[in-house]
Amino acid sequence: MAELSINKQGISQYGVRSLDAPVLAASPMILEQTIEHYRPDIDVLRSIAVLGVVFFHAGFHTALGGYVGVDVFFVISGYLITRKIQEEIALGVFSFRDFYINRARRLFPALFVTVLVTFFLSSLLLAADHFKQFAQSAVWAALSASNIFFWIDSGYWAPDNQGMSRVLLNF
């Protein structure tokens, strides 16, 4: 069986902190310098991704590709989050609890505003039966469970209007 190696900070090769290792306190200055790296090249990638999504929704389906723009956002997010976690682990200050609390603090305000604005506009623009379906799907989406709602609502195995199965509906 392979031996688990732990470095001076108590971090294993799997990025898990040993419970026996002392917690090394890092000054706020060190954390700020290490974790907060501004990357202008990533802003350029974000801009290109935004343009791709905007052009796609404007009807220019061949220009840059809206789906690619969304994928670029996911890749950028994964890179930045992974880099931050690795740096916090290296400093011995990473905590799953703090990580998820910080994610919620960052994402939930925008989610809340988006849901409220969308509900308001949908109540004005949609017919009553469509608004009812929208409201149901929005609740599931706010809980990050929209795939379950659409599966229950229409069934992945039910044929769509072209007679094809929806097994790959969300892929």
Q: How far apart, in whole angstroms, are the C-alpha atoms of residue 129 and residue 25?
A: 57
Residue 85: give the domain boundaries.
Answer: 1-94
Q: How far apart, in whole angstroms, are the C-alpha atoms of residue 81 and residue 168?
A: 28
Q: Exposure string (b/e) for 49-81, b if CB count within 10 Å is 16 or more?
A: beebbebbeeeeeeebbbeebeebbeebeeeee
Residue 3 counted as domain residue: yes
Q: For 39-76, how does the pLDDT look when each residue is reduced to its tens digit (9 = 90+)?
A: 899 999 999 888 888 888 888 877 656 788 889 999 99
Where is average pLDDT lowest: 26-35, 117-126, 141-150?
A: 26-35
If one counts the domains in the chain, the total is 1
Give the model's pLDDT for residue 156.
56
Q: Is the pLDDT of residue 6 over 90?
A: no
Give the model's pLDDT for residue 34.
47
Mean pLDDT of the residues in the chain: 77
Residue 170 counted as domain residue: no
DSSP string across 99-129: HHHHHHHHHHHHHHHHHHHHHHHHHHHS-HH
Residue 152 counted as domain residue: no
Residue 145 counted as domain residue: no
Give the model's pLDDT for residue 94.
95
Residue 62 counted as domain residue: yes
Residue 130 counted as domain residue: no
Residue 7 counted as domain residue: yes
Residue 13 counted as domain residue: yes
Give the model's pLDDT for residue 102.
94
